[in-house]
Structure 1
Amino acid sequence: MRELFERYVRAGLAKDAGAVAAMFTEDGVFDAPLMPPGGPLPARMTGRDEIEAGLAAYYARPAHTELTVLLDRSRLVLHTTDDPAVFIAEIDTAYEKAGEVTRMSLVQIFRLRDGKIALLRDYFAPEHLD
């Protein structure tokens, strides 16, 4: 669980959409339930190809490329559940944009199958993406 999450974070920080997508099952789902229709990230992506394409487009956005995540000032806490295939990540991300440090809190719920992500629900405030 921890190793998979750490790989997920590293791939995301590297903006490597292919590496993130490869961590999902073939039919995996990336769900961002708070994302409004037409937002900068699709609210739901199903399958590795769709996840890779959606994340690649998101990572390429100028608003995203101007962000620098301050990992040493961020907080990551993993919570286990009674179901060994499910864990929850509580994240307070510190990032710098245009010389200003900002924080964004989010929660991610991971459901695993055969060592890969079958479902990721990412709850974050979409207004922080622009």
Structure 2
Amino acid sequence: MSASPDEIFRNYVYAGALTRNADALAELFTEDGVLEAPLVPADAAFPKRMEGREEIRGAMAAYYERQTGDGGVPNVEKSRYVLHITDDPDVFIAEIDTVFDGNGEGDGADVTVSLVQIVRTRDGKIAHLRDYFTPGLVS
């Protein structure tokens, strides 16, 4: 039985944003999977496009290693998402509002980051993920 969009999405969030585990993240993708962030400038810290499971693994491991840790971990209780199931059973869209506790503009206020991900799956794995988020978050 193939994984549901909700299972795929939750596993992706856990492996990436919550645990920053590049190996677990890469294993969610097909061998030829693509992870791209079209709005990110080519010179940003976050890779603009990664093709293939091994490139995703290496690039995300390097990105996570560069993280200072002061960006915080998302507050799962406050964060929200909605999955939009499309007419194509292999495609879903995630509309996400991620909340980070008290690491605002020096005032201790929560910061909410809104983004959209378009996910194409194949055999229960991510074949192509487009992550649309504010480029300034990763530069």
Q: State the TM-score bracket (shorter-chain normalisation).
A: over 0.9
Query: Partners of 1:113 and 1:62 in 2: how far apart?
Result: 31
- TM-score, structure 1 length as denominator? 0.92
Matched, 1:74 2:79: yes
Counterpart of 2:9?
5
Q: Which has the higher strand share?
A: 1
**What amino acid maps onto 1:109 in structure 2?**
I
Residue number in structure 1 paired with 2:113? 104
Alignment TM-score, normalising by the size of structure 2: 0.87
Give the alignment partner of residue 57 of structure 1, picking from 39, 62, 81. 62
Whole-Å separation in 2 of the counterparts to 1:122 and 1:29: 11
Deviations 1:21-53 (A, max 9, x none): 001000000010001011011110001111011
- The structure carrying a bigger helix percent of its residues is 1
Distance 1:100 1:54, change over 3 A: farther
Where do 5+ consecutive residues of structure 1 fail to align? none
User: RMSD across aligned C-alpha pairs, in angstroms?
Assistant: 1.4
Q: 2:32 maps to what in 1?
A: 27
- Report deviation, 1:62: 3.3
Distance 1:84 1:9 in 2: 21
Q: Are positions 1:16 and 2:26 aligned together?
A: no
Unaligned runs of at least 5 residues, structure 2 = none
The amino acid of 2:93's aligned partner reads: I
